[in-house]
Amino acid sequence: MDKQDLMQQSQNHICQTYNRYNLAIASGKGCYLWDQEGRQYLDFVAGIAVCNLGHCPMEIARVMYEQAQQLVHVSNLYYTEPQVRLAAALTGSCFADKVFFCNSGAEANEAAIKLARKYSRKGYGPGRYGIITMKNSFHGRTLATLSATGQQKIQEGFEPLVDGFRYVEFDSVDAVAKAIDETVCAVLVEPIQGEGGVRVPERNYLEGLRELCTRHDLLLIYDEIQVGMGRTGKLFSHQHEGVTPDIMTLAKALANGMPIGAMLTTDKVAEAFGPGSHASTFGGTPLVTAVAFEVFRQISAESFLEKVRTVGEYFRERLLALKDKYSFIREVRGRGLILGIELDFPGGELVAQCQERGVLLNCTAEKVLRFLPPLIVTSIEVDRLVETLESVFRDKH
């Protein structure tokens, strides 16, 4: 199919819920993608923080192929070894004791919301089901998770929303404290806001939330769907602070592009989820969990995470140098390899210009150029990205 045909048929047959770029991608390897005509692109989107090991890594393809020949799916009526191995690896690497597997970020948050309600119901009876979330947060597109999302544009037209969510200013412990009353059971927060514009909170924010939640017996839920799995240079973003939640959600990079979600929690909280209380047909199939285990094995290696921190620091310094040169850059933000440049104008046009020059990046919160390269990126690709940005910035001047 040629590109015109592809675009036309896409319009004819696919729900028009996405604004797509004028680009049809045919293949990928490492940090690079190729379009249908064989043109190469340097990818600093990585499927929105999904392909953390790059595109089509050989070892992942091998695991996928071998597992696909052995066992793909049997239902959670039965035990399977890949699922248990992944659960043991994940819980062994953080605060959690138990995992619930599902298929996406929204579903992981959905599970967290259901668990928080059920847990509170058991301890306090009905009426204590409120969840405090943050303005400009993003938690997904199902009805419950868009209700949790603190952005009106995502909720518009879908009312009535799921009851019980209230939104407060991000990065303010005080704002959360003020919103707590006898109807609240949990606080849901991204350790770094991704879609909200790569917003890194102050050092003591998560710690402040932890203290508040402990004091009021609220569950603290971290949405690490975008910033977990090595993205920030630690396996999980909150491990920079050393303050643990009661529940954490993962998805995106967990299987490097195969659909998976996970909700992790402590034994104490998990007790509220008994047999029959939650389920997912595809949740944690042998195929996806075998792949995720290999992803986990590679990303959790300290040498891998160390490289993410080193390249991330180099990248950040190069972006800060750009900021000194171009007055329209308001701020450089981020940690590890989730970085953003806030501009004083909408960034959509710059994204298109970079694409014309063979570099893919993404713009979020209208004015923030967001960089989410595969975590295997090196200073060579970072240099190329920065040079491309400069050439576009120069034209802007």
Q: Which residues bind ligand PLP (CB under 6 A)?
A: 104-106, 109, 138-140, 190, 194-195, 223, 225-226, 251-252
Minimal distance, residue 45 CB to ligand PLP, in Å: 13
Nearer to ligand PLP, 139 or 367 (CB): 139
Least spacing, CB of residue 219 vs ligand PLP, in Å = 17
Toward ligand PLP, which CB reaches closer, 223 or 381?
Answer: 223
Cβ nearer to ligand PLP, comparing 225 with 376? 225
Nearest CB to ligand PLP, comparing residues 252 and 316: 252
Catalytic residue among 138, 273, 296, 393: 138
Q: Kindly tell me which of 121 and 141 has the beta carbon lying closer to ligand PLP.
A: 141
Known active-site residue 252: yes
Picking from 328, 315, 289, 286, the residue whose alpha carbon sits closest to that of residue 383 is 315
Closest contact distance (angstroms) between CB of 48 and ligand PLP is: 7
**CB of 3: closest distance to ligand PLP in angstroms?**
26
What is the nearest approach in angstroms of ligand PLP to the Cβ of residue 63? 21
Could you say which of 223, 236, 307, 315 is catalytic? Answer: 223
Taking the complex as a whole, how short is the minimal distance between the CB of residue 261 and ligand PLP, in angstroms?
6
Least distance in angstroms from the C-beta of 105 to ligand PLP = 2
96 vs 106, beta carbon nearer ligand PLP:
106
Nearer of residues 47 and 358 to ligand PLP, judged by Cβ:
47
Q: Which amino acid, 22?
A: N
Residue 282 catalytic? no
Tell me the residue number closest to ligand PLP, measured at CB: 105
Catalytic residue selected from 252, 293, 367, 371: 252
Q: Which amino acid is at 362?
A: N
CA 227 – CA 195 distance, rounded (Å) = 11
The verdict on whether 98 is a catalytic residue reads: no
* Alpha-carbon dihedral 12, 16, 21, 25, rounded to 10 degrees: -60
CB 308 within 8 A of CB 337: yes
3-state secondary structure string across the chain: CCHHHHHHHHHHHCCCCCCCCCCCEEEEEECEEEECCCCEEEECCHHHHCCCCCECCHHHHHHHHHHHHHCCCCCCCCCCHHHHHHHHHHHCCCCCCEEEEECCHHHHHHHHHHHHHHHHHHHHCCCCCEEEEEECCCCCCCHHHHHHCECHHHHCCCCCCCCCEEEECCCCHHHHHHHCCCCEEEEEECCCECCCCCECCCCCHHHHHHHHHHHHCCEEEEECCCCCCCCCCCCCHHHHCCCCCCEEEECHHHHECECCEEEEECHHHHCCCCCCCCCCCCCCCHHHHHHHHHHHHHHCCHHHHHHHHHHHHHHHHHHHHHHHHCCCEEEEEEECCEEEEEECCCCHHHHHHHHHCCEECEEECCCEEEECCCCCCCHHHHHHHHHHHHHHHHHHC
Max CA separation in the chain (angstroms): 62
Catalytic residue set: 138, 223, 252
